[in-house]
Amino acid sequence: MNETLCNDLKAAREAVGLTQGGLAEAIGVSRKTINTVENGVFQPSTLLALKLARALGRPVESLFWIAD
Amino acid sequence: MNLVEKAEQRSRLRAALFYALATILPLMTILALAGPGESTTRLLLWLLIIGLAALNLSSLPFRWSRCGPVSRLMNDETTKDHRRSSFAAGFWAMILSAATTMVVATFQPLGAAALGRITITAGLTAALIAFATLELRASR
C-alpha cells in the first residue's frame, strides 16, 4: 500500500497572513517542522495536525487528506 | 530575535558542529591505526568525543535537564524523526564496516581495539552526517 498524505497547509497559512516562523511560534514547534510538513517531507503526528488546524481555524480534514 | 529564530540558529550551529565531528572522528581513527601505537591520552580523548557525539545525537540531554523553550524547539517532532533516521543510518554503517573489517582481518590481522574503533567511528560518522544533513535540508 502506497498512500500519500496531502496537505493544504501553505495556502491555509498564507490565507491567515502567517509566516512559517509565525505559525511555528504559535504552536510551539520549529520553523523546519512547518516547512517539512508543507513540502510533504514530514508526516505530522495527530497531535501536531490538530494543533495546526486549531491555529489556522480550519477542520483538520480540510488541511490533511489521503491521496486516492 | 524571537524563540523560533534562536532555535533555528542554534540548530544550524549544531549541524555545523556535527559535520566537524564527522570529519574529526575518522581522522583520529586513521591516525590511531596508522600511528605507532595507541596512546592512553589519545584513546581517552577519542572516547570523550564519541561519548559527547553519541549523547548529542540522542535526546537524553533534553530529558535530563530542565529544558527552556528554545531547547524544546530544538527537539521537536521533526528533530526526533531526524534522530531516528540518523540512528538507522549509523546502524547500517556499523554493520557494513564491521563486516568489511572482518573480511579485511582475514588477510591483515586486526586487534579488537582497532575493530571497535573502526566500527564505532563508521556508525557515529554516518549518524552525525545524516542528522546534520536532514536538519539543514529541513531548514531550507
Distance from CA of A67 to the nearest CA of B (A): 22
Number of domains chain A is built from: 1
- Interchain CB contacts (distance < 8 Å): A and B: 51
**Chain B neighbors of A24, CB-CB under 8 A:** 4, 73
Q: Which of A17, A1, A2, A28 is nearest to A56 (CA)?
A: A17
Q: What angle do CA A51, A35, A40 make, to 5 degrees?
A: 85
DSSP state of A45: P
ipTM: 0.87
Which range of residues forms the domain containing residue A46? 5-66
Please state, rounded to an integer, the average pLDDT across all residues of chain B: 90
What pLDDT is attached to residue B65? Answer: 63
CA pair distance A59, B57, nearest whole angstrom: 36
**Domain edges within chain B:** 3-139
What pLDDT is attached to residue B18? Answer: 96
pLDDT tens for B41-52 read 888 989 999 999
Q: What is the mean predicted confidence (pLDDT) over A7-29? A: 94
Q: What is the mean predicted confidence (pLDDT) over B7-13? A: 92
Q: What is the CATH number of the domain that holds A47?
A: 1.10.260.40
Scan for cell 496531502, then name that residue. Answer: A6
pLDDT tens for B100-125 read 999 999 998 888 888 999 999 999 99
Q: What is the mean predicted confidence (pLDDT) over A3-26? A: 93
**Chain A neighbors of B135, CB-CB under 8 A:** 32
Q: What is the mean predicted confidence (pLDDT) over A1-5? A: 79
Task: Please check whether residue A63 is in contact with residue A6, taking contact to mean a CB–CB distance below 8 angstroms.
Answer: no
